[in-house]
Protein backbone atom coordinates (compact mmCIF):
# COMPACT_ATOMS: atom_id res chain seq x y z
CA UNK A 1 0.00 0.00 0.00
CA UNK A 2 1.47 3.30 -1.08
CA UNK A 3 2.05 5.84 1.61
CA UNK A 4 0.39 9.23 1.09
CA UNK A 5 2.69 12.10 0.38
CA UNK A 6 3.08 14.60 3.20
CA UNK A 7 1.69 18.06 2.39
CA UNK A 8 4.13 20.78 1.53
CA UNK A 9 5.13 22.71 4.64
CA UNK A 10 4.98 26.46 4.08
CA UNK A 11 8.36 28.02 4.50
CA UNK A 12 8.85 31.52 5.92
CA UNK A 13 7.89 34.07 3.28
CA UNK A 14 4.98 32.13 1.84
CA UNK A 15 6.91 29.75 -0.45
CA UNK A 16 6.73 26.02 0.10
CA UNK A 17 9.78 23.96 0.94
CA UNK A 18 9.46 21.74 -2.18
CA UNK A 19 9.45 24.84 -4.41
CA UNK A 20 12.87 25.77 -2.99
CA UNK A 21 14.19 22.29 -3.70
CA UNK A 22 12.89 22.28 -7.26
CA UNK A 23 14.35 25.72 -7.98
CA UNK A 24 17.68 26.28 -6.18
CA UNK A 25 18.78 29.86 -5.66
CA UNK A 26 21.82 29.45 -7.93
CA UNK A 27 19.70 28.22 -10.82
CA UNK A 28 17.23 31.07 -10.41
CA UNK A 29 20.08 33.58 -10.27
CA UNK A 30 21.43 32.29 -13.59
CA UNK A 31 18.05 32.94 -15.19
CA UNK A 32 18.33 36.64 -14.28
CA UNK A 33 20.26 38.64 -16.89
CA UNK A 34 21.28 41.32 -14.39
CA UNK A 35 22.53 38.72 -11.93
CA UNK A 36 24.56 36.99 -14.65
CA UNK A 37 26.19 40.28 -15.65
CA UNK A 38 26.90 41.12 -12.00
CA UNK A 39 28.40 37.68 -11.37
CA UNK A 40 30.58 38.01 -14.45
CA UNK A 41 31.88 41.39 -13.28
CA UNK A 42 32.51 40.17 -9.74
CA UNK A 43 34.08 36.96 -11.02
CA UNK A 44 36.49 38.95 -13.16
CA UNK A 45 37.40 41.27 -10.27
CA UNK A 46 37.84 38.29 -7.92
CA UNK A 47 40.03 36.53 -10.49
CA UNK A 48 42.21 39.63 -10.80
CA UNK A 49 42.46 39.90 -7.01
CA UNK A 50 43.44 36.24 -6.71
CA UNK A 51 45.95 36.55 -9.55
CA UNK A 52 47.56 39.54 -7.82
CA UNK A 53 48.45 37.29 -4.88
CA UNK A 54 50.36 34.95 -7.18
CA UNK A 55 51.67 37.21 -9.92
CA UNK A 56 51.74 40.85 -11.05
CA UNK A 57 53.44 41.95 -14.30
CA UNK A 58 55.43 44.74 -12.64
CA UNK A 59 56.34 45.73 -9.12
CA UNK A 60 53.44 48.07 -8.18
CA UNK A 61 55.66 50.03 -5.80
CA UNK A 62 58.81 50.39 -7.94
CA UNK A 63 59.50 53.98 -8.99
CA UNK A 64 60.94 54.48 -12.48
CA UNK A 65 61.31 58.19 -13.17
CA UNK A 66 62.47 57.54 -16.74
CA UNK A 67 59.08 55.89 -17.51
CA UNK A 68 56.76 58.60 -16.15
CA UNK A 69 53.44 59.17 -17.95
CA UNK A 70 53.90 56.43 -20.52
CA UNK A 71 50.58 55.83 -22.32
CA UNK A 72 48.98 52.37 -22.42
CA UNK A 73 51.02 49.94 -24.48
CA UNK A 74 52.25 46.33 -24.65
CA UNK A 75 54.62 46.70 -21.69
CA UNK A 76 52.20 48.75 -19.57
CA UNK A 77 48.57 47.96 -20.58
CA UNK A 78 47.20 50.81 -18.41
CA UNK A 79 50.23 53.09 -18.79
CA UNK A 80 52.39 54.44 -15.98
CA UNK A 81 51.71 57.11 -13.37
CA UNK A 82 53.59 60.26 -12.33
CA UNK A 83 56.30 58.16 -10.64
CA UNK A 84 56.67 55.63 -13.46
CA UNK A 85 54.80 52.85 -11.63
CA UNK A 86 52.79 50.37 -13.67
CA UNK A 87 49.10 51.34 -13.31
CA UNK A 88 47.88 47.88 -14.39
CA UNK A 89 49.82 46.16 -11.59
CA UNK A 90 48.58 48.72 -9.08
CA UNK A 91 44.97 48.20 -10.17
CA UNK A 92 45.43 44.44 -9.76
CA UNK A 93 46.71 44.82 -6.20
CA UNK A 94 43.98 47.38 -5.55
CA UNK A 95 41.35 44.75 -6.43
CA UNK A 96 42.54 42.61 -3.53
CA UNK A 97 42.54 45.61 -1.21
CA UNK A 98 39.07 46.79 -2.23
CA UNK A 99 37.44 43.37 -1.88
CA UNK A 100 39.07 43.04 1.52
CA UNK A 101 37.74 46.48 2.45
CA UNK A 102 34.19 45.45 1.53
CA UNK A 103 34.43 42.26 3.58
CA UNK A 104 35.87 44.02 6.63
CA UNK A 105 33.29 46.82 6.57
CA UNK A 106 30.41 44.32 6.39
CA UNK A 107 32.02 42.24 9.13
CA UNK A 108 32.26 45.24 11.48
CA UNK A 109 28.75 46.52 10.72
CA UNK A 110 27.20 43.05 10.92
CA UNK A 111 29.07 42.03 14.06
CA UNK A 112 27.66 45.06 15.89
CA UNK A 113 24.27 45.51 14.26
CA UNK A 114 23.01 41.94 13.83
CA UNK A 115 23.24 40.81 17.50
CA UNK A 116 21.86 44.14 18.75
CA UNK A 117 18.95 43.99 16.31
CA UNK A 118 18.08 40.42 17.26
CA UNK A 119 18.34 41.28 20.95
CA UNK A 120 16.13 44.36 20.53
CA UNK A 121 13.45 42.47 18.64
CA UNK A 122 13.43 39.46 20.95
CA UNK A 123 13.68 41.21 24.31
CA UNK A 124 11.56 44.25 23.55
CA UNK A 125 10.59 46.90 26.11
CA UNK A 126 13.54 48.62 27.79
CA UNK A 127 16.22 46.77 25.81
CA UNK A 128 14.48 47.51 22.51
CA UNK A 129 13.97 51.15 23.44
CA UNK A 130 17.61 51.66 24.45
CA UNK A 131 19.04 50.03 21.31
CA UNK A 132 16.66 51.81 18.95
CA UNK A 133 17.36 55.22 20.49
CA UNK A 134 21.09 54.55 20.02
CA UNK A 135 20.46 53.76 16.35
CA UNK A 136 18.48 56.98 16.04
CA UNK A 137 21.47 58.95 17.28
CA UNK A 138 23.73 57.38 14.63
CA UNK A 139 21.11 57.72 11.88
CA UNK A 140 20.64 61.42 12.69
CA UNK A 141 23.93 62.09 10.85
CA UNK A 142 24.69 61.26 7.19
CA UNK A 143 26.76 58.09 7.23
CA UNK A 144 29.58 59.54 5.13
CA UNK A 145 29.94 62.63 7.31
CA UNK A 146 29.85 60.44 10.42
CA UNK A 147 32.57 58.21 8.96
CA UNK A 148 34.65 61.30 8.15
CA UNK A 149 34.30 62.51 11.73
CA UNK A 150 35.33 59.13 13.15
CA UNK A 151 38.39 58.91 10.88
CA UNK A 152 39.36 62.47 11.77
CA UNK A 153 39.21 61.53 15.45
CA UNK A 154 41.11 58.24 15.05
CA UNK A 155 43.63 59.39 12.44
CA UNK A 156 43.82 58.97 8.69
CA UNK A 157 44.50 55.38 7.61
CA UNK A 158 42.80 52.66 5.62
CA UNK A 159 42.19 50.59 8.77
CA UNK A 160 40.52 53.50 10.52
CA UNK A 161 38.45 54.24 7.41
CA UNK A 162 37.16 50.65 7.39
CA UNK A 163 36.35 50.83 11.10
CA UNK A 164 34.62 54.19 10.67
CA UNK A 165 32.37 53.03 7.83
CA UNK A 166 31.47 49.86 9.75
CA UNK A 167 30.57 51.86 12.86
CA UNK A 168 28.52 54.31 10.81
CA UNK A 169 26.59 51.45 9.15
CA UNK A 170 25.72 49.18 12.07
CA UNK A 171 22.31 50.86 12.73
CA UNK A 172 20.91 49.73 9.38
CA UNK A 173 21.64 46.10 10.26
CA UNK A 174 20.22 46.52 13.74
CA UNK A 175 16.95 47.91 12.38
CA UNK A 176 16.76 45.25 9.67
CA UNK A 177 17.22 42.35 12.08
CA UNK A 178 14.88 43.86 14.65
CA UNK A 179 12.11 44.10 12.06
CA UNK A 180 12.68 40.53 10.91
CA UNK A 181 12.66 39.15 14.45
CA UNK A 182 9.47 41.05 15.32
CA UNK A 183 7.81 39.56 12.26
CA UNK A 184 8.84 36.02 13.20
CA UNK A 185 8.51 36.20 16.98
CA UNK A 186 4.98 34.78 17.04
CA UNK A 187 5.29 32.46 14.04
CA UNK A 188 3.75 28.99 14.63
CA UNK A 189 7.10 27.17 14.56
CA UNK A 190 8.56 29.60 17.12
CA UNK A 191 5.53 29.18 19.40
CA UNK A 192 5.78 25.40 19.01
CA UNK A 193 9.47 25.44 19.96
CA UNK A 194 8.71 27.61 22.96
CA UNK A 195 5.87 25.28 24.03
CA UNK A 196 8.20 22.29 23.67
CA UNK A 197 10.52 23.84 26.25
CA UNK A 198 13.25 25.19 23.94
CA UNK A 199 15.44 27.78 25.59
CA UNK A 200 16.02 31.29 24.33
CA UNK A 201 19.40 30.43 22.85
CA UNK A 202 17.98 27.53 20.86
CA UNK A 203 15.04 29.59 19.58
CA UNK A 204 17.35 32.38 18.49
CA UNK A 205 19.95 30.12 16.89
CA UNK A 206 17.71 27.46 15.33
CA UNK A 207 14.48 29.28 14.47
CA UNK A 208 14.85 33.07 14.32
CA UNK A 209 18.34 33.79 12.98
CA UNK A 210 18.27 31.27 10.06
CA UNK A 211 14.99 32.75 8.83
CA UNK A 212 16.49 36.25 8.91
CA UNK A 213 19.41 35.31 6.65
CA UNK A 214 17.67 36.04 3.32
CA UNK A 215 17.13 39.79 3.89
CA UNK A 216 20.52 40.02 5.61
CA UNK A 217 22.19 38.46 2.55
CA UNK A 218 20.40 40.90 0.23
CA UNK A 219 21.42 43.88 2.38
CA UNK A 220 25.06 42.81 2.53
CA UNK A 221 25.24 42.15 -1.21
CA UNK A 222 23.92 45.65 -1.89
CA UNK A 223 26.14 47.27 0.75
CA UNK A 224 29.37 45.61 -0.42
CA UNK A 225 29.62 47.90 -3.43
CA UNK A 226 28.75 50.94 -1.33
CA UNK A 227 31.44 49.97 1.18
CA UNK A 228 34.07 50.07 -1.55
CA UNK A 229 32.69 53.37 -2.87
CA UNK A 230 32.52 55.09 0.53
CA UNK A 231 35.99 53.90 1.56
CA UNK A 232 37.36 55.02 -1.79
CA UNK A 233 35.69 58.40 -1.22
CA UNK A 234 37.40 58.71 2.16
CA UNK A 235 40.72 57.95 0.48
CA UNK A 236 39.90 60.48 -2.22
CA UNK A 237 39.55 63.27 0.36
CA UNK A 238 42.71 62.18 2.16
CA UNK A 239 41.13 60.28 5.06
CA UNK A 240 41.83 56.73 3.92
CA UNK A 241 44.78 54.95 2.34
CA UNK A 242 48.20 56.57 2.40
CA UNK A 243 51.06 56.32 -0.09
CA UNK A 244 52.24 54.06 -1.53
CA UNK A 245 49.14 51.86 -0.97
CA UNK A 246 47.52 51.11 -4.37
CA UNK A 247 43.96 51.62 -3.16
CA UNK A 248 41.60 52.56 -5.99
CA UNK A 249 40.14 55.69 -4.39
CA UNK A 250 43.58 56.99 -3.46
CA UNK A 251 44.83 56.27 -7.00
CA UNK A 252 41.96 58.33 -8.44
CA UNK A 253 42.78 61.16 -6.02
CA UNK A 254 46.44 61.11 -7.02
CA UNK A 255 45.66 61.02 -10.73
CA UNK A 256 42.84 63.57 -10.94
CA UNK A 257 45.29 66.43 -11.64
CA UNK A 258 46.50 64.54 -14.72
CA UNK A 259 43.04 63.85 -16.14
CA UNK A 260 43.61 66.01 -19.24
CA UNK A 261 47.25 65.07 -19.86
CA UNK A 262 47.49 61.43 -18.65
CA UNK A 263 43.85 60.31 -18.49
CA UNK A 264 44.70 56.65 -17.90
CA UNK A 265 46.03 57.31 -14.38
CA UNK A 266 42.63 58.15 -12.78
CA UNK A 267 40.41 56.41 -15.36
CA UNK A 268 41.77 52.88 -14.82
CA UNK A 269 41.11 52.67 -11.05
CA UNK A 270 37.87 54.66 -11.49
CA UNK A 271 36.59 52.14 -14.02
CA UNK A 272 37.55 49.30 -11.66
CA UNK A 273 35.52 50.93 -8.86
CA UNK A 274 32.55 51.37 -11.19
CA UNK A 275 32.65 47.77 -12.41
CA UNK A 276 32.90 46.34 -8.88
CA UNK A 277 30.12 48.52 -7.47
CA UNK A 278 27.89 47.72 -10.47
CA UNK A 279 28.51 43.99 -10.01
CA UNK A 280 27.52 44.04 -6.36
CA UNK A 281 24.45 46.19 -7.08
CA UNK A 282 23.23 43.89 -9.85
CA UNK A 283 23.67 40.79 -7.70
CA UNK A 284 22.02 42.49 -4.72
CA UNK A 285 19.01 43.57 -6.80
CA UNK A 286 18.64 40.07 -8.24
CA UNK A 287 18.82 38.49 -4.78
CA UNK A 288 16.18 40.91 -3.52
CA UNK A 289 13.89 40.07 -6.43
CA UNK A 290 14.32 36.33 -5.84
CA UNK A 291 14.18 36.23 -2.05
CA UNK A 292 11.61 38.92 -1.25
CA UNK A 293 8.27 37.10 -0.79
CA UNK A 294 6.29 40.27 -1.55
CA UNK A 295 7.88 40.54 -4.98
CA UNK A 296 7.31 36.82 -5.52
CA UNK A 297 3.59 37.26 -4.82
CA UNK A 298 3.41 40.28 -7.15
CA UNK A 299 4.77 38.16 -10.00
CA UNK A 300 2.21 35.47 -9.29
Residue 217, in any domain of the structure: yes
Cα–Cα distances (Å) from 148 to 46, 69, 248, 289, in that order, read 28, 32, 18, 33
CA 216 to chain centroid, in Å, comes to 11
Residue 122, in any domain of the structure: yes
What is the rounded distance in angstroms from the CA atom of residue 108 to the CA atom of residue 164? 9
Residue 172, in any domain of the structure: yes
| pLDDT tens digits, one per residue of 90-146 | 999 999 999 999 999 999 999 999 999 999 998 888 999 999 999 999 999 999 999
Residue 241, in any domain of the structure: yes
pLDDT score of 7 more than 70: no
At a CB cut-off of 8 Å and minimum separation 6, what does 145 contact? none
CA 1 to chain centroid, in Å, comes to 53
How much of the chain, in percent, has pLDDT values that exceed 70? 88
Cα–Cα distances (Å) from 91 to 8, 46, 165, in that order, read 51, 12, 22
DSSP codes of every residue in 65-98: GGGTTPPS-SS-TT-B-TTS-BHHHHHHHHHHHH
Contact, 255 vs 269, CB < 8 A? yes
In the predicted model, what is the mean pLDDT of the chain? 85
What is residue 293's predicted lDDT score, i.e. its pLDDT? Answer: 56
What is residue 294's predicted lDDT score, i.e. its pLDDT? Answer: 55
Read off the pLDDT band of 289 (50, 70, 90).
confident
What is the rounded distance in angstroms from the CA atom of residue 151 to the CA atom of residue 137? 18
| pLDDT tens digits, one per residue of 191-209 | 888 888 777 778 888 888 8
Domain span holding position 175: 100-273
What is residue 1's predicted lDDT score, i.e. its pLDDT? Answer: 41
Structural domain count of the chain: 1
pLDDT score of 12 more than 60: no
What is residue 223's predicted lDDT score, i.e. its pLDDT? Answer: 92
Residue 202, in any domain of the structure: yes
Contact, 147 vs 205, CB < 8 A? no
Residue 56, in any domain of the structure: no
Residue 21, in any domain of the structure: no
Residue 78, in any domain of the structure: no
pTM reported for the whole predicted model: 0.83
* CATH number, domain containing residue 206: 1.10.3720.10
**Which range among 139-143, 170-174, 211-215, 278-282 shows the weakest confidence by mean pLDDT?**
211-215
Amino acid sequence: MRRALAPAIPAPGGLTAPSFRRSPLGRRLLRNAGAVLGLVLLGAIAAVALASVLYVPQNPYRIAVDRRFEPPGPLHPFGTDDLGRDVFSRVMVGARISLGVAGCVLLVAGAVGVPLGILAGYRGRIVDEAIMRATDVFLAFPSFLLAMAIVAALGSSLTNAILAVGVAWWPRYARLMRGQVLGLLHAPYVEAARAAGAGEGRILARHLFPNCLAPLLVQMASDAGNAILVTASLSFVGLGAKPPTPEWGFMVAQGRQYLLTAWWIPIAPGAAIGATVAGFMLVGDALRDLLDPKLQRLRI
